[in-house]
Structure 1
Amino acid sequence: MRIRPAHPEADADALWRVLEPMIRAGDTYTLERDMSRADALAYWLAPAHATFVAEGDGEMFGTYYMRANQRGGGAHVANCGYVTAAEASGRGVARAMAAHSLEEARRRGFRAMQFNFVVSTNVRAVRLWESLGFDVVGRLPGAFAHPTMGEVDALVMYRRL
């Protein structure tokens, strides 16, 4: 597997193929479930985001973006969003992207990484982040309207780099 910077034009179709199922499911991100392809790509490839793709054998396995979590006094803390293609689940893609993002964040001068809104029912993601040294530093009771489970908690997770 290779992780490289995304190319907005050349990768658009493959990015949409990875992003659309996550958006339509509506169970891990606070994005509108009816979000258009154009709006989803504009969000994922926003100018403030450094976007990467994980690929192999001519297929995109996943993607992540990195940005400063806040401006000014909070700009030394990175924030990321990750999506693994459904067909690549269980193959170490998320872990590889997470490891890449931690190294990339250090290389870019970030001193910590924070996830502002990890849906508590996304157990695999929570377990992965904890295995990589992230701590739950906050819990937002009922903050996420899960499409099948109703209101569930969202977690704030943090790690120094």
Structure 2
Amino acid sequence: MTRKLNIKLAVNHIASNDTVFHFLTSIKSISAYGLLVTLFTLLTLSVSTMPAQAELVDLSNFEPVTQISISNANWVVRPILRIESHCINTVSTGDKLTLLLDGSVDKQGKITRVQVKKSSGNQCLDENAIRQVRSGRMKPVMVKGKAVRASFSLPIIFTVP
């Protein structure tokens, strides 16, 4: 404290009060900044010399997915699978087109994913079948009294009229 007074008095003789005030506030801000930098440096050094302690945490919401047979599925809204007329222009009457779809159902019974596992060879028919299956809804799949996610395979055979 005595040192600050001596500096203030010495500067007071040299310059006006405004200059002294500016000089002292500059020293204070530089000192505060220097103190923060020093503390940050010490903290960084102390942290970097400590051995790291880590724990692996599985953040994925992993639950086993139950495979269900589509023939045993309990439908709330059964999908209506029909051939759209614009999809069969190149197909002969009486032809059978086979398609295999894979899908997933969430805990509430909503069909969340449908994809082609084996194509019928008619992309338009495949896309319409996916859309039609996604429009369906199942009752929740229950395992030991608890609703679970499930997956299914759905074979479809379309006979062209």
The structure carrying a bigger strand percent of its residues is: 1
TM-score (norm 1): 0.24
TM-score (norm 2): 0.24
Does 1 or 2 have the higher relative contact order (CA < 8 Å, sep 6+)?
Answer: 2
Larger Rg: 2
